[in-house]
Amino acid sequence: MADVAVLGAGSWGTTFAKTLADGGADTVLWARRPEAAREIDESRRNTRYLPGITLPASLHATSDIRAALEGASQVYLAVPSQQLRQLLREHGDAIEAGAPVVSLMKGVEAGTRLRMSEVIAQELRIDPERIAVVSGPNLALEIAQEQPTAAVVSSTSPTTARDVAKRARNDYFHSFINTDVIGTEFGGVLKNLVALAIGIVDGVGYGENTKASIITRGLAELTDFAVAHGAERETLRGLAGLGDLIATCGSPLSRNFTAGRLLGMGYSRTDVIARMEQVAEGLASVDPVAELAAARGVRMPILEQVRLVLDGAMDPRDIAPHLTTDDEPIEE
C-alpha cells in the first residue's frame, strides 16, 4: 500500500509522482499501459514522456488502478480532463473513504462546462472540502530536472489545502495554499488559451512585441472571466494566474504553445491533435470556455480569434492585429 496514489503517467503525472516521492511519500503511479508501468517500476524511467530522468526508488507503478488506490491516504488525478468523469465512474468506489482527492488537471469538461473539481464532487458525491486543486508555473520536464519552482494548492478547506501542501513539498518544489478554488482552476485553464494564441503568432513568425501585447491583454481577459465566475482578482495576479501564464506562454515545453505554433504554421486542428504526443488541454477547453464567457457577458477577443483559427474560419496570419488591439472606443 502507498501513502499516496497518482493516476496518470504522462509527463505531468509522472513528474508530480516524483515530486511527492522526493518529499518522502511512498507513491504509487497508475499507468494505463502495462509496458509503461513495468519500465517505471523496473528501470526507474519513463522514456516516452520524461527522457533522461531517473525516478526515485520510493515511486512504484502499476497498470492496475484499483491496486494503486488501495490504502492511499491522498489521491492525485493527472488524466486528460475529458476522460476524468468516466475514470471516476468506473473506479471512484476504490478511493479510500475520507482521502483527499487532488486535481492536477487544467481543463473544462466539454458539454457540462464544469471545472475538474466540480466533476470530482459530482461524480464521487463527496464534500468539496475533501477536494483540492494544484496549479502554477509547472512545466513538467523542468520540475523533473529538479529546477526550483512553486505552486498553489487550493481547497475550500484550509485543512485539506495544508495537508496536501505538506505532501507536495521538497527541496525544489514549494507549495503555497489558498481557498480560492475557482480562481486557481480558471487561471490554469485560461492561460492555456492564451498560450495557444502565443503559439499561433510564433508559428506565423511574429516577434516579442506581439507576444508581450497578447500576454498582457490575455491576463486582463482571463482575470475578467474568472472574477465574473466568483474568483478573487488577487489570485490571478499570483502563481496560479500570472505565474502560470508566463511559464506556459514562454516555453517550447508547453503543450499548448506547441499546439498553437503548429496552427500558426498552417496545420488544421485535426492535424495538430494527431501530431501531439500528449493532450494539449487548451484545444478541448476553447469551446466550453467561450460558452461560459457568453453566458456571463464577458468579452474575450483573444479567445474568439483563437476559436476562429481552430475552426478554419481565419487565416493564422491575420490573427495578430485582432489579438493586440481593443475594439472599444478610445476616450479622449
Q: Report the SS3 class of residue 236.
A: helix
Q: Report the SS3 class of residue 122.
A: helix
Q: Give per-residue pLDDT as tens, 111-165.
A: 999 999 999 999 999 999 999 999 999 999 999 999 999 999 999 999 999 999 9
Q: What is the mean pLDDT of residues 11-30?
A: 97
Q: Report the SS3 class of residue 76.
A: strand
Cite the annotated binding site by residue number: 8-13, 32-33, 49, 106, 136, 140, 191, 244, 254-256, 279, 281
Tell me the chain's radius of gyration from C-alpha atoms. 19
Q: Annotated catalytic residue: which of 18, 166, 191, 211?
A: 191
Is the confidence at residue 327, as pLDDT, over 90? no
Q: What is the mean pLDDT of residues 9-29?
A: 97
Any catalytic annotation for residue 166? no
Q: What is the mean pLDDT of residues 221-239?
A: 97
pLDDT value for 325: 53
Instruction: For residue 261, report the phi and psi dihedrals to the nearest 5 degrees.
Output: -60, -40
pLDDT value for 317: 87
Does residue 276 contact residue 259 with C-beta atoms inside 8 Å?
Answer: yes
pLDDT value for 322: 61
- Confidence band, pLDDT 50/70/90 cuts, at residue 278: confident
Look-up: residue for cell 479567445? 303
- Give Cα 220 to chain centroid, integer Å: 20
The three three-digit cell numbers of residue 250, written as one number: 514562454
Does residue 34 contact residue 63 with C-beta atoms inside 8 Å?
Answer: yes
Cite the annotated binding site for substrate by residue number: 106, 255-256
pLDDT value for 328: 56
Q: Pick the range with the lowest mean pLDDT from 1-15, 22-36, 61-75.
A: 1-15
Q: What is the mean pLDDT of residues 5-15?
A: 97
| Domain residue limits, the chain | 4-179, 182-318
| Fold that domain 4-179 belongs to in CATH | Rossmann fold (3.40.50)
Cite the annotated binding site for sn-glycerol 3-phosphate by residue number: 106, 136, 191, 244, 254-256
Q: Which residues pair with 115 in a beta bridge?
A: 108
Cite the annotated binding site for NADPH by residue number: 11-12, 32-33, 49, 106, 140, 255, 279, 281
The residues, ordered by sequence, that sit 6+ positions from 265 with a Cβ below 8 Å of its Cβ are: 203, 204, 316
Is the confidence at residue 23, as pLDDT, over 80? yes
Nearest to 151 by CA among 238, 227, 273, 29: 238
The three three-digit cell numbers of residue 60, written as one number: 512504484
Burial 260-285 (b: 16+ CB within 10 A, else e): bbbbbbebebeebeeeeeebbbbbbb
Q: Pick the range with the lowest mean pLDDT from 61-70, 110-119, 265-274, 287-296.
A: 265-274
Q: Pick the range with the lowest mean pLDDT from 143-152, 165-174, 314-323.
A: 314-323
Percent of the chain with pLDDT over 90: 87
Q: Pick the range with the lowest mean pLDDT from 43-47, 149-153, 307-311, 328-332.
A: 328-332
Is the confidence at residue 331, as pLDDT, over 50? no
Cite the annotated binding site for NAD(+) by residue number: 8-13, 140, 255
- Confidence band, pLDDT 50/70/90 cuts, at residue 67: very high
Q: Give per-residue pLDDT as tens, 178-199.
A: 999 999 999 999 999 999 999 9
Q: Which residue has the higher pLDDT, 325 or 321?
A: 321
The three three-digit cell numbers of residue 178, written as one number: 489558498
pLDDT value for 332: 40
Distance CA 298, CA 283 (A): 20
Q: Does domain 182-318 have CATH number 3.40.1210.10?
A: no
Q: What is the mean pLDDT of residues 286-306?
A: 94
- Confidence band, pLDDT 50/70/90 cuts, at residue 282: confident
Nearest to 6 by CA among 86, 87, 82: 87
pLDDT value for 277: 76
Look-up: residue for cell 464521487? 124
Q: Which residues pair with 50 in a beta bridge?
A: none
DSSP string covering 241-296 = IIIHHHHHHT-TT-HHHHHHHHHHTT--HHHHHHH-SS--HHHHHHHHHHHHHHHH
pLDDT value for 250: 80
Does residue 195 contact residue 171 with C-beta atoms inside 8 Å?
Answer: no
E strands present in 69-209: 74-77, 101-103, 131-135, 149-154, 173-178
pLDDT value for 281: 82
DSSP state of 331: P
The three three-digit cell numbers of residue 214, written as one number: 497578447
The rounded mean pLDDT for the chain is 93
Helix axes 281-296, 181-204, angle to 10 degrees: 120
Does residue 235 contact residue 241 with C-beta atoms inside 8 Å?
Answer: yes
Look-up: residue for cell 468506473? 90
Q: Report the half-sphere exposure of 302 (CA within 13 A, side-chain side).
A: 30
Q: Report the SS3 class of residue 115.
A: strand
Is the confidence at residue 329, as pLDDT, over 90? no
Q: Pick the range with the lowest mean pLDDT from 133-147, 208-222, 250-264, 272-286.
A: 272-286
